[in-house]
Amino acid sequence: MVRQVPCPAIFSFPLSPPANRLQSMTERPTPLSPRASRWWILGLAHMSALSYALTLQMIPPILGSLVSQMGMSHTQAGALMGLFTLPGVFVAIPGGYLADRLGPRRMGVLSLVLMTAGTLMMLPLTPIMLFSGRFIAGVGATVLVVIAPQIIARRFLGRELGLAMGIFNTAVPLGTIISFNLLSRMGAAWGIWPVIAFTGGATFIVLVIFSLTFSEEDRGTGLAPPSSTGSGLRRLGGTIWLVALVWALFNMSILSFFTFGIDYFRVRGFGPGFAGLLSSLPMIISIFLVPLVGLFMDRLGWRAGLLFWGGIIMGGSIMLIFYDPARALPWTILLGVGISMVPPVIFSMAGEVVPRDLVGLGFGLLTAIFNGGVFLGIPMVGSLKDFTGRYDPGFWLMAGLALCSSVIALFLVRSGAGVEIEE
């Protein structure tokens, strides 16, 4: 059954040009329409997500220097990494609520200001400035990951939304690869300070471009803002909670693999270079496949079915990597195929299954549950390794989390959520 979703007035525009072109040339130019500017908006969202990824992954390239030069323990350096995601548990839902009330432009600028200021605050390299700046940058990043998919959902709903979300979801893998290569070499050659300065400078450039070019053309549509966060959460409905749970389980599984993959492959006897390649290969594969998955969604209308099979492929791949490490290369490629099937579906459905005036709050809920799951999931895998001295239970847990996401996706299939949306 095809679910019909009426296209709001803000997405309907006449295709013919103005009758009097001479008069239009003498009048004050008006902002681009959402139809004309939606691909530029996608570009802004992609740049913002890329700056988020660089800021998030700024610590791993300099972690060794923080330990050797600054005298930090590995626990303290790890806490500096985790502190960036902690605000997401508490800030995401209020941030999404404010985005619905104040508009994505104001909140987007604020988020980039906080990310830039927080990162540059770390430059004195004192412990208090490092941790304070990291936390402030994390607050801004939490709001940013709510705003970026929200503005895409508003511009592309019913029109190539899957492709847009697929392109958008290449930003974090691309930023991670840039960080692990460019920032790692920068840190090795010049130390900690240039890495932080480069990251803060890149975020500042995105802030300038976003603030000068992004305009809210969907204002004044008559959508009333919610009266409170609590009432807004009640209006979201139950489907978004299932979508958020799938997203949390997916990330608990795959981010645990990325965290412990290099160490696992080294334990299995692979050299450091090949271990790093195997661990990052699923992310590299996803850069090419995620846009194709989004295009496939738009053409065939699949949503929840892709979530189901993505979790199955992920869980199976993780177990194959563990039990057949000699053929880890094809299994990590297969894992990349599995993880490519999930992000564009999640971000598309999150914008489709909530009321139009609560899109920001919906993405806020998605981000909050994701951060809470990741905050708990990765330490669970590490604790199993510490307790048993083996990776067996940790890999079973990763695979189990992926398979659980498939089970939740079955409820979405049965509910009829995520079938094709037509204009």
% of the chain beyond a pLDDT of 90: 31
**For 172-193, what is each residue's pLDDT tens digit?**
888 888 887 788 788 888 889 9
Domain extent at residue 339: 225-423
| Residue 8 belongs to a domain | no
Answer yes or no: do 239 and 116 share one domain.
Answer: no
The b/e string for 71-82 (b: 16+ C-beta within 10 A; e otherwise) is: ebeeeebbebbb
Q: Which residue has the higher pLDDT, 393 or 226?
A: 393
CB-CB neighbours of 103 under 10 Å: 17
User: For position 28, what pLDDT does the model report?
Assistant: 38
Last residue within a domain, chosen from 200, 218, 236:
218
Instruction: For residue range 224-240, list pLDDT tens digits in order.
Output: 445 555 566 777 778 88
Question: Whose CA is closest to 18, among 7, 10, 30?
Answer: 30
Contact between residue 349 and residue 305 where contact means Cβ atoms under 8 Å apart: no
Question: What's the domain count of the chain?
Answer: 2
* Per-residue model confidence as pLDDT tens digits over 252-310: 898 888 777 777 888 888 886 787 778 888 888 988 898 888 888 777 767 788 899 99
Answer yes or no: do 241 and 356 share one domain. Answer: yes
pLDDT tens-digit map of 103-145: 888 999 999 999 999 999 999 999 899 999 999 999 999 999 8
Task: Name the domain boundary from 153, 186, 218.
Answer: 218
| Residues 291 and 390 grouped into a single domain | yes
Whole-model pTM: value is 0.72
Instruction: Tell me if 105 is assigned to some domain.
Output: yes
**pLDDT for residue 57 is more than 90:** no
Answer yes or no: is pLDDT of 4 > 50.
no
Residue 87 lies in a domain: yes
Q: What pLDDT is stored for residue 420 in this prediction?
A: 40
**What mean pLDDT is reported for the chain?**
80
Is 127 in the same domain as 269? no
4 strand-pairing partners? 422
Task: Return the pLDDT at 236.
Answer: 79
Answer whether residue 17 is part of any domain.
Answer: no
For residues 41 and 402, what is the distance between their CA atoms, to the nearest angstrom? 32
pLDDT of res. 30: 37
User: 411 and 306, same structural domain?
Assistant: yes
Last residue in a domain, options 202, 218, 234: 218
Alpha carbon distance 287, 166 (integer Å): 9
* Cβ contacts of 345 within 8 Å, gap of 6 or more: 162, 293, 297, 302, 303, 304, 306, 307, 310, 418
Q: What is the mean pLDDT of residues 79-93?
A: 82
Are residues 95 and 136 located together in one domain of the fold? yes
Residue 422: beta bridge partners? 4
